[in-house]
Structure formats: structure tokens, C-alpha cells
Amino acid sequence: MVREYSVPAIHRAVRVIELLAASHSGFSLADVCRQTGIPKSSLFRILAALEQHSIVLQDHDRKIFRLGMKLLDWGNAALEKIDLKTIVHPHLIRMAHETRESYYLAILDGHEVIIIDRADNPETWSIVARLGARSPVHATASGQVLIAGLPMQTLDRIVGQSGLKRYTPKTITSEVRLKKRLREIVRDGYSVADAEYKPDLCAISVPIYDHNANVVAALMTGIQSARTKKVEAIARIVTVLKKEAAVISHAIGYVEVAA
């Protein structure tokens, strides 16, 4: 955004919202003032305006502020407007029913992966991943799939923003290793991130292509890293994911060009 159009009060309000979003119990006016550096007089007006629109709620007895439900309403409205979600959801349900696994739909949002839909099979172990949950691109199967085909300049920018933080001993923290992995994903058409983000999670993901042959989303599932016959399970899941992703890609206009 051009600096001339910047509105300081909005920037301050966003800082307040982000702070409250990181808290489970809320903050007092003094706490918010101390952590944001916003003067109390200005902060009080910002909180009052946010409360007026149900973005922030005030517990008058405890004298603390916390987030209201308005942001959830807005977030859900944004997710509902994604046509891809409507197309993909029946596939998630069918895969979960037929394979007894849990499946997820993820997209790239800036330099992070965000889950926008899911279908769980409650009978088996599943990933604890809520809708809207964000995760790093370099350490997740879906993230690697989403960035694998990007132009080098775009990839460098994303990696520069997100960094290559180590989450487990198996996390890829070398840019050289990451780019090697991404080339393999482009070649093979899927990614397996085994204990790279969470030590007990082996995630498997494949890309979904749009009419321009760009990767617009990723189908993903996860199994326990310690699962018996893991290699066979991964091969079976990759086959299922690729089949469904091909149908979905075709539905949104992708036409595979013969080699």
C-alpha cells in the first residue's frame, strides 16, 4: 500500500486485534497499552469503536477486553466465497468415507499455508487442524506442493519472508535441500513430509491445478509417522489423492497437455 494512503488509527486497531487474538483470556486496558505502546487515550477510543462493532468484547466485571465473534463471521464469509471449496468438499467426504482417513484442502496465503476445508473420519487417528489454521510452507507437505512450481523469484521472496525454522530434527532448514525437494515434487506430482513439522505426523499432499495450469490448492492427509506398513500406506494414499485431484482440476478448467 502506498504510504500516502496509510491510516495510523487503522494500523493501531489491527495491532490491538492481533494482540487480543493471541490471548486466550483477554487483556486489560493497561496490558494492551503496555504491549502496543499506544497511548491510553487513543487506545480507549480504538477499543470503544471495536466494541461498538462487536469486533471486541469487554468483560466489565473483570475489566478485560477480548475478541468478539465478528471476525469469525467475516472469516467464514470469506471462506464461503471460495468456489473451490464447494467443488472439493464432496471429494473430501468421499475419500474420508472410502479410505477411513481424514482429508484437508489447503491454499497458499502470502507465505503461509491455510486450511480452508476438511473431512474427518472419527474412527481413526486424525490431524488436529482447525479451519483457518496456518502452517509454514517449508515444513509441510501441502506447503511444499503449493510452492513447488513457483517462479524462482517468487519462491525466494516467500522463503525470505517465512524463513526456514526448525520444528523437528527432520525439518528442512537448508534452501538448497528445499529446492531439491521442490524439484522432486514437480517431477513426482506429490509430497511426503514425514515428521518435518510435527514429530508424529507423516503428511502426504498433491496439487490441484487451475485452467492456467497453476497450482491453486493442495489436497492433503496425514498418517502417524510410526504407522506399520507406512510405505504401502503412502503409496495407496498418493494414488487416491492424485485421482481425486485430477478430477477436481478438470472441473475447474485444467487440461493436461500430453508430453
* Matching residue, cell 505426523: 201
Q: Which residues of 28-58 are buried (b: 16+ CB within 10 A; e: fewer)?
A: eeeebbeebebeeeebeebbeebeeeebbbb
Q: How many CA atoms lie within 13 A of 211 on its CB side?
A: 4
Specify the fold of 82-251: Beta-Lactamase (3.30.450)
Could you list the beta-strand ranges (E) of the chain: 56-59, 64-67, 103-109, 112-119, 134-136, 191-194, 201-209, 215-224
The answer to whether 105 and 118 are in contact (CB under 8 A) is yes
The DSSP symbol for 255 reads -
pLDDT at 122 (0 to 100)? 65
Amino acid at 6: S
Span 3-72: which CATH code? Answer: 1.10.10.10
The DSSP symbol for 148 reads T
Query: Model's pTM, two decimal places?
Result: 0.69
Domain ranges of the chain: 3-72, 82-251
Amino acid at 177: R
Task: Tell me how far apart the terminal alpha carbons of the chain are, to the nearest angstrom.
Answer: 42
The Cα 230–Cα 174 span in angstroms is 26
Amino acid at 250: H
Per-residue pLDDT of the chain (259 residues; tens, 9 = 90+): 445 567 888 989 999 998 988 888 889 999 999 999 999 989 999 999 999 998 999 988 888 999 888 887 887 776 665 678 889 999 999 999 888 888 999 999 888 999 999 988 766 655 656 777 889 999 999 999 999 999 999 999 988 888 899 999 999 999 999 999 999 999 999 999 999 999 999 999 999 998 889 999 999 998 888 887 889 999 999 999 999 999 999 988 888 765 5
**What is the rounded radius of gyration, in angstroms, for the C-alpha atoms of the chain?**
21
User: Cβ–Cβ contacts within 10 Å for residue 252, how many?
Assistant: 16
